[in-house]
Amino acid sequence: MDSVTQIVLGIAVAEACAGKKLQNRTFLYGAILGTIPDLDVLVGKFMDPIDAIMIHRGMSHSLLFHLFLAPILGWLITKIEKQRISFKEASWMAFLCLFTHPLLDMCTTWGTQVLWPLPYRYSLNCIFVIDPLYTIPLLIFLIMVWRTKNNELRTKYVRRGLFLSTGYMLLALSIKSFALYKFEKALGDQNVSYDEIMVKPTPFNLILWNANVATKEAYLLGDYSLFDTQPITFTKYTKNPDLEIPLENNVDFKKLKISSEGWYLVDQVNGKTYFNDLRFGILNDDPKAPQFVFSYEFVRSTEGLKAVEVPKTKRDAKALLKKMFIRLKGN
């Protein structure tokens, strides 16, 4: 999730753990602890861009790392607070603030390596990385917490905020399951045989959903809105295995295949070769010249072929949001 949401969640968890003893200082501890897992982004600034993608949501988001770090941070907090909170309580607060970060990230599309060093990434694909309906209610209740010193009221407010945010996430999972059912039914009605399906929400809402469907020879991409009255249709994007042959030994290609979790399409436009990550949507609807949200061009350099991310413009974002809003209203 976005940094603001992770900070808000970290504060809420810190308040639930130690608000009675630390009062508003939980806002400082929660904000810091809730941000620590994303320090891998800063590390990535000093790395090759593709390597930065590979480490994001890796070790710093893992259960093992948080179990190691929590008692160290807990000890530090007890020293700062001078016995206002016990080592056990501070360590528990630190662990929960740290570990709820990857748990929340797991609900988004980008996989989270929560069981690092195992090489598997987990994602529930039930919420977009920015969703105001998750963040704002929790933030409102935290403002109410900040404005009172009454422990009973503080406890009530933070519990209500966490209850609403958790309830919203459960709603997201339920709607995602319903959308998956609708996509699977549409594929069955159209007699489409497929190997794998991935369903995910579109930006900022739980109404419009995308599906990526993998068949032996192609990917099928489709949309479903809760307001739809017409059958779901799919756009076909043919796989191009021949274009992958020259890239088989390319280091960047191998890394991108891993980071995309197999959801990728290699194509050529005007003689240029592109690696397209299918998980995050498409900017246009042209099967002959698709432009995906995350696309990498293979460019010749002194080190051979290097994958360079195709830059996106504000115009691309505005066009995508406009198209999404129209489609969200149903067809």
Per-residue pLDDT reduced to its tens digit, 34-54: 999 999 999 999 999 999 999
282 pLDDT more than 90: no
Q: What is the dihedral of CA 107, 110, 116, 118, to 10 degrees?
A: 110
Residues 248 and 315 in one domain: yes
Number of domains observed in the structure of the chain: 2
Mean pLDDT value across residues 309-326: 83
Written as six digits, the tokens of 78 are: 């007890």
Residues 25 and 159 in one domain: yes
Q: Quote the pLDDT of residue 313.
A: 76
Residues 56 and 151 in one domain: yes
Q: Quote the pLDDT of residue 287.
A: 65
Residue 319 counted as domain residue: yes
Mean pLDDT value across residues 155-183: 97
When pLDDT is cut at 50, 70 and 90, the band that residue 318 belongs to is confident
Question: What contacts 29, CB < 8 A, 6 or more positions away?
Answer: 14, 18, 22, 77, 93, 97
70 or 288, which is more confident? 70
Residue 154 counted as domain residue: yes
Residues 320 and 265 in one domain: yes
Residues 223 and 92 in one domain: no
Residues 209 and 153 in one domain: no
Residue 268 counted as domain residue: yes
Residue 181 counted as domain residue: no
Provide the terminal-to-terminal Cα distance of the chain, rounded to the nearest Å.
30
124 pLDDT more than 70: yes
When pLDDT is cut at 50, 70 and 90, the band that residue 323 belongs to is confident
286 pLDDT more than 70: no
Mean pLDDT value across residues 214-233: 96
Residue 164 counted as domain residue: yes
Residues 109 and 194 in one domain: no
Residues 12 and 159 in one domain: yes
Written as six digits, the tokens of 282 are: 């498409």
Q: Quote the pLDDT of residue 57.
A: 95
Mean pLDDT value across residues 271-287: 85
Written as six digits, the tokens of 95 are: 């662990």
255 pLDDT more than 70: yes
How far CA 172 is from CA of 13, 165, 200, in Å, comes to 21, 11, 10
By residue count, the chain amounts to 331
Residue 180 counted as domain residue: no
Residue pair 252/307 in contact (Cβ under 8 Å)? The answer is: yes
Question: What contacts 190, CB < 8 A, 6 or more positions away?
Answer: 234
Q: State the DSSP code for 245.
A: G
Residue 184 counted as domain residue: no
Residue 183 counted as domain residue: no
Q: How far apart are CA 293 and CA 279, in angstroms?
A: 9
Residue pair 172/201 in contact (Cβ under 8 Å)? The answer is: yes
Residue pair 62/68 in contact (Cβ under 8 Å)? The answer is: no
DSSP codes of every residue in 17-84: HHHHHHTTHHHHHHHHHHHGGGGHHHHHTTS-HHHHHHHTTSGGG-HHHHHHHHHHHHHHHHHHHTTS
| Strand-strand pairing, 218-225 and 208-214 | antiparallel
267 pLDDT more than 80: yes
Residues 295 and 149 in one domain: no
Residues 98 and 139 in one domain: yes
271 or 213, which is more confident? 213
Q: Which of 112, 145, 172 is where one domain is finished?
A: 172
Domain containing 52: what range?
Answer: 3-172
Q: State the DSSP code for 311.
A: P
Residues 8 and 68 in one domain: yes
Mean pLDDT value across residues 56-61: 96
Residues 68 and 197 in one domain: no
Q: Residue 299 pairs with which residues in a beta bridge?
A: 306
Question: Which residue's entry shows tokens 């809420």?
Answer: 12
285 pLDDT more than 70: no
Which SS3 state, helix, strand or coil, does residue 100 take? helix
Q: Which of 124, 146, 172 is where one domain is finished?
A: 172
Q: What percent of the chain has pLDDT over 90?
A: 87
Of 70-79, 96-105, 275-284, 287-296, minimum mean pLDDT range? 287-296
